[in-house]
Structure 1
């Protein structure tokens, strides 16, 4: 899928995700102030992120009178709130992966089924985000080179990489299995991106 169609192809959405990964349960007004974007623009970006399963909402619990605000959080990481969109995406990816391995048994990796389902979900999510991931099931690495995101937004590479790692952690956690993101392998080339996974006991 082309990067232009990705929910995280816009740096403004990446910036919003970064803020929500750093501190969840933020309001539109808070995000607008932090990003400098108009509240309506923030609302549109949030809707796109919700539709992609990256952000979830909750209604503020108020002890005082007044209309409660809608609060937004990133659906990233093992302790993050769950997104029904993300849940459906990982289930669909696992079903497609199982069908592919049934039709093409030579694609079987030998990994535990839950780990394989995690990889199914991770690969599909990365493809939807505009990447062309290459997975090494033996070394448990994911090669995302070349990273078009880092090339187009080189000055924001740290934020981009942090958000992408958080999204990968969220997908693996939603799929439920032994695989976790250990981190990015060091490189001096901004177009190079290799993610190291780890298998929990």
Structure 2
């Protein structure tokens, strides 16, 4: 099932979103577990996982066995932690920082007042969101990311909570992979389906709410 409003990217189908949610929820899932949870055929699950690995959203490891038998392949979300870091995600973050530095140099724009690490975190976050079909607007004073109009606004209402949770998890992973003081806290409650604002936090700072 293709997600309405998103025509491209590794998260362009709801089945893929479900698989990503499962590995975000608990790491080291097997193909069999993902098949049982989604009702999808093993070949379909493998194809979805392949796309998610290519996007830098999932990593695969080999099971360490203490008994005889072929070790299984295990799948986890790429969270940016040392034990769950995707080489593709690392390159995306590094590339975003390089491109951001070049653009700031060309436009004579300063880095974020939050510091160099935070600037590069925001570079990576904006590129990730644009790749996912969003048009992010970052407000560094309020520490929010406005994603209105949300490309998932036309999705089935029952799918929206899972979509929001998965995308928040992806944002948290990108920020963690980039390394720095900024974290994604939550998706704010919205009055209209097309509204979407993500609340960020900065370590050691109080949030500005007005």
* TM-score normalised by structure 2 residue count: 0.91
Rate the CA distance shift 1:163–1:79 in 2: closer, same or farther, 3 A. farther
Between the aligned partners of 2:154 and 2:82, the Cα distance in structure 1 is 31
Rate the CA distance shift 1:57–1:91 in 2: closer, same or farther, 3 A. same
Q: What number of residue pairs does the alignment pair up?
A: 200
Higher helix residue share: 1
Counterpart of 2:12 in structure 1 is 9
Between the aligned partners of 2:85 and 2:65, the Cα distance in structure 1 is 22
**1:137 to 2:130 alignment:** no
Counterpart of 1:52 in structure 2 is 55
**1:61 to 2:61 alignment:** no
Where structure 1 has 5 or more consecutive residues not aligned to the other structure, the ranges are: none
Counterpart of 1:84 in structure 2 is 87
Does the Cα contact within 8 Å between 2:89 and 2:177 map onto a contact in 1? yes
SS at match of 2:200: strand
Does the Cα contact within 8 Å between 1:60 and 1:69 map onto a contact in 2? yes
Counterpart of 2:119 in structure 1 is 116
Counterpart of 2:29 in structure 1 is 26
SS at match of 1:6: coil
Give CA deviations for 1:118-137 in whole Å, capped at 9, x if unaligned.
00000000011111111112
Pairwise CA distance, 1:77: 5.9
After TM superposition, the runs of 4+ consecutive aligned structure 1 residues lying more than 6 A away are none
Pairwise CA distance, 1:110: 2.5
Pairwise CA distance, 1:78: 4.7
Pairwise CA distance, 1:107: 5.8
* TM-score normalised by structure 1 residue count: 0.95
Pairwise CA distance, 1:189: 1.7
Counterpart of 1:176 in structure 2 is 179
SS at match of 1:106: coil
Pairwise CA distance, 1:16: 0.3
Between the aligned partners of 1:45 and 1:150, the Cα distance in structure 2 is 23
**1:192 to 2:181 alignment:** no
